[in-house]
Structure 1
Amino acid sequence: MVDSLLLGVEGIKKTILYGGTSEIPKFITGSKVTFHFRTMLCNDDRTVLDDSKKVGVPMEVVIGNMFKLDVWEALLKSMRIGEVAEFWCDIIHTGLYPMVAKSLRRIAEGKDPVDWHIHTCGMANMFAFHTLGYDDLDELQKEPQPLIFVLELLKVQQPSEYHRESWAMSDEERLKAVPVLHGQGNKLFKQGRFEEATNKYKEAILCIKNVQSKEKAWEAPWLKLEKMANTLTLNYCQCLLRMQEYYEVIEHTSDIINQHPGVMKAFYLRGKAHIEVWNEAEAKADFNRVLDLDPRVIKMVSDI
């Protein structure tokens, strides 16, 4: 059954494979939509690029939250709960798919979708742009083409019907959430609930990094957010010290020191972690750097 009246959107053809139930749900700004998707090339083999069912986790998007592949919002808004439909989408709608697919694949692999921790110079970024880390996506990026999306609409939740995680927030909401999460993390830390505190700090850091990614690196707004993220990362490291995750502390504090060599607390926490793993020379060097940055803390360092 072909539905050629897909909201009057040019370059899209819809075929309903399995009819849904009741009326089309209300899709308002903030609605969370849960669905399965399969992406295929428009070749004779209908080569499958991605399939959320194989990953085992359905996709979620929030309407009006500027999801990079905005055509999916238009497709979903034409569907009923339980409906399965196939959409042929022309190149004008599929150009950003390789970038979106890269993030989704990295998430499925348990990796950070945007590599926040990697700092590279402009030249390195220029070269990195030409590869997404997946050969099929690289080819699709070089030669954009129409794609087929098979979507199965599972659920539509209104804004009041679910807890909004950081990925579902606007930038303004993320920035408002940061001090709340920071305070919750501090309270949990004082209660000795270190693992729970790390989760609050991580969520706050993710909020900041999402906003920071839209700013120009090393300019004032970006640096302000960087300082906030570093403060939370060091709090996170304090929890890790209590949890005896010493090598992770060394890794995170070293990342901060490499970018911001004047952050005293990073040297102090790294020094404490080095002591715990018997890196005496490294610990001594870090504590000497602490005293160079602030001689007033000599008693704190000498008591270690």
Structure 2
Amino acid sequence: MSDMQETLLLGSDSIKKTILHGGTGDIPRFITGAKVTFHFRTQLCDDERTVIDDSKVVGKPMEIVIGNMFKLDIWETLLSSMRIDEVAEFWCDITHTGVYPLVSKSMRRIAEGKDPVDWHIHTCGMANMFAYNSLGYDDLDELMREPKPLYFVLELIRVHQPSEYSRESWALSDEERLKVVPVLHGQGNNLYKAGRYQEAMQKYKEGIICIKNVQTKEKSWEVPWLKLEKMANTLTLNYCQCLMCVEEYYEVIEHTSDIINQHPGTAKAFYMRGKAHMEVWNEAEARQDFSRVLDLNPAMKKIVKKDLAVLNMRMEEKNQEDRNKYKGMF
């Protein structure tokens, strides 16, 4: 078969498909809720066909649920043209590849065992993306600045129909998602009380993802959106409380600052950020945050007074230590 016949245009000249290895049986049913497992390799269209990502190198195939707002929806279109065990190469122009760097960042963070929740992008949608200059990976930053056509080499492993697997929270409908949030919240609180902070964080994070998924369909800053935002912020602050317990203070500062930038009246976020600053010896920032707490919520006066007393004592001890250290030097 000549290359010309192998190259199928999937109803558009912005995608070209070449089958590298034929699959078996009929094309599976790709209905909403079906779980698709596949390997992927992403390559630049340069002479070297530079590889950007390769799930086989990571050693774990990718899974997506059809119709579930996966950020790179073009993959759903490509996969639904394939048979089981088929390997195909798709050339996609930049109308389809613009968001790839964001998706890649999430996938890489998961592969590295880090938190895939991209708070900035979830919180304020695509517009905010450009306010953050770096994705933390040079090759992705380059692609972000200058989107390029890409090759996706996909290998379809299996398709599970919705009735054939237990549906996890990310495969739920919006209504189901919102029902699951208080359950996750409660489980998180119980785990937190039991001192199982990592597991509690997992529950809070799942809750946040459920809320954010529903929130993307609402109009920003309108009442339904704000209600969801309030729920998400509550869970984020619980998440930060766990981070405090495992001494991840800089991450607390990052998440609370996100909330404060969006909602400058959140006393609890200022309070938690103040506590985190205190732990990493940012005295001026801690004092500033605590004084904002008192402005916003005078009822917290007693608790803040206690923290300020601890801060004063610590700074005094630190200054004494520094004095002793330097005394011996001169």
Normalised to the residue count of structure 1, the TM-score between the two structures is: 0.75
Shift of 1:196: 0.9
Name the structure with the higher helix share.
2
Q: Equivalent residue of 1:96, what SS?
A: helix
Shift of 1:170: 3.9
Out of 152-161 and 38-47, give the one that drifted further.
38-47
Distance change >3 Å, CA 10–CA 268, structure 1 → 2: closer
The two structures, once aligned, show a CA RMSD in angstroms of 4.0
> Is 1:227 matched with 2:230?
yes
- How many correspondences in the alignment? 293
Q: Equivalent residue of 1:269, what SS?
A: helix
1:246-279 deviation line (CA, Å, top 9, x unaligned): 3332332233223322212122223333443444
Counterpart position of 2:313: none
Counterpart position of 1:269: 272
Shift of 1:197: 0.7
1:78-107 deviation line (CA, Å, top 9, x unaligned): 433222234566x6xx622232x2123212
Work out the CA distance in 1 between the residues paired with 2:131 and 2:261.
22
> Is 1:116 matched with 2:128?
no
* Aligned residue identity for 1:248: E
Out of 64-73 and 233-242, give the one that drifted further.
64-73
Counterpart position of 2:37: 34
Give the conservation status (yes or no) of the 8 Å contact 1:98–1:138. Answer: no
Q: Percent sequence identity over matched residues?
A: 64
- For residues 1-304 of structure 1, what are the structure 2 equivalents within 5 Å? 9=11, 15-39=18-42, 51-67=54-70, 69-87=72-90, 95-99=95-99, 101-110=100-109, 115-116=120-121, 125=130, 134-136=141-143, 139-140=146-147, 149-304=152-307
Structure 1: 5+ residue runs without aligned partners? none
Work out the CA distance in 1 between the residues paired with 2:58 and 2:232.
31
Structure 2: 5+ residue runs without aligned partners? 110-115, 134-138, 308-330
Work out the CA distance in 2 between the residues paired with 1:168 and 1:266.
31
Work out the CA distance in 2 between the residues paired with 1:213 and 1:175.
13
1:127-186 deviation line (CA, Å, top 9, x unaligned): 98xxx9544565545xxx6x6543211121222443444444444443333222112111
Work out the CA distance in 2 between the residues paired with 1:263 and 1:44.
52
Work out the CA distance in 2 between the residues paired with 1:226 and 1:30.
26
Give the conservation status (yes or no) of the 8 Å contact 1:29–1:62. Answer: yes
Work out the CA distance in 1 between the residues paired with 2:211 and 2:192.
21
Distance change >3 Å, CA 266–CA 219, structure 1 → 2: same
